[in-house]
Amino acid sequence: MTELTDITAVILAGGMGTRLQDVVDDRSKVMAEVAGRPFVTYLLDQLEEVGVRRVVICTGHHANHLENKLGDKYGEMELVYSRENEPMGTGGALRMALPLLESDPVLVLNGDSYCSVNLAHCFEAHARYNGAGVLCLCEKPDTASYGSVDLGDDSEIVGFREKDATSGPGWINAGVYLLNRELIESIPSDRAVSLEREIFPDWTGRGLFGYRSDCELLDIGTPERYEQAETFFASLASARKKGSVA
């Protein structure tokens, strides 16, 4: 049986970050500084805390800067890079990295967002559901800016709703996934493709489950959200000291 410490983690870090270029124009958005260090290092800390030993980082825009800054080690973790020469989308980048992924399932994190979910609990949920994949979900009082995920009684995902100005409270994709290799192998390898918009809806009915988490979520994709990052992590650190965050 695969243990969490044997899992290969993937960070999707190849995006152009077009909306953030007015404030971060000389590096990829995952390298945008938060409290004096790159945003992606907060994700690496999260992985290191649960014992992950191998991380594949999917790079693209400003790949040289990222790879040179991070190197091939972070603490005790090995860092490996899968570089796209042209934009492949989140799905295409993940499919391209498949030869570097040494575990089944694979833990996938969006590089431009941080979800405070307990990764060990997400891993346990994947084993409990015994499906092909698990998406971590976060509850929002208004899903209009995100789109939402519909679940069946057994937590299997039955549908995805696009962003909708009339949306109310619901569960949204939090950017953390545990995916079996068979799912990743089914992603088209010859074109750019989006996990969120194209692949996940296509996987509905194929054993894709949602893990509902009481987590905090930060997406740095816009200047307004990026400005909130330092306060977000300071608040998380304070909550951990008080014992209110796992």
Predicted pLDDT at 25:
67
Q: Is residue 246 part of a domain?
A: no
Q: Do residues 194 and 154 lie in contact, with contact meaning Cβ atoms separated by under 8 Å?
A: no
Tokens of 36: 């004096």
Q: Is residue 106 part of a domain?
A: yes
Q: Is residue 135 part of a domain?
A: yes
- CATH number at 54 reads 3.90.550.10
Predicted pLDDT at 44:
98
Predicted pLDDT at 122:
95
Predicted pLDDT at 26:
65
Predicted pLDDT at 20:
67
Q: Is residue 8 part of a domain?
A: yes
Q: Is residue 146 part of a domain?
A: yes
- Does residue 130 come out as left (phi exceeding 0), alpha (psi in the -120 to 50 range) or beta? left
DSSP conformation class of 190: S
DSSP conformation class of 112: T
DSSP conformation class of 104: S
The domain total for the chain is: 1
Cis peptide before 87 (omega within 30 of 0): no
Give CA–CA dist 132/134, Å, rounded: 7
pTM for the predicted model, two decimal places: 0.94
In tens digits, the chain (246 residues) has pLDDT values of 578 999 999 999 987 656 666 666 667 889 999 999 999 999 999 999 999 999 999 998 889 999 999 999 999 999 999 999 899 999 999 999 999 999 999 999 999 999 999 999 999 999 999 999 999 999 999 888 888 999 999 999 999 988 776 678 999 999 999 999 999 999 999 999 999 999 999 999 999 999 999 999 999 988 898 999 999 999 998 888 777 555
- Does residue 78 come out as left (phi exceeding 0), alpha (psi in the -120 to 50 range) or beta? beta
Predicted pLDDT at 17:
55
Predicted pLDDT at 175:
96
Residues with Cβ within 8 Å of 159's Cβ and at least 6 positions away in sequence, in order, are 149, 150, 201, 204
Range of the domain at 98: 4-241
Q: Do residues 213 and 122 lie in contact, with contact meaning Cβ atoms separated by under 8 Å?
A: yes
Predicted pLDDT at 163:
77
CA angle 229, 70, 174 (to 5 degrees): 40
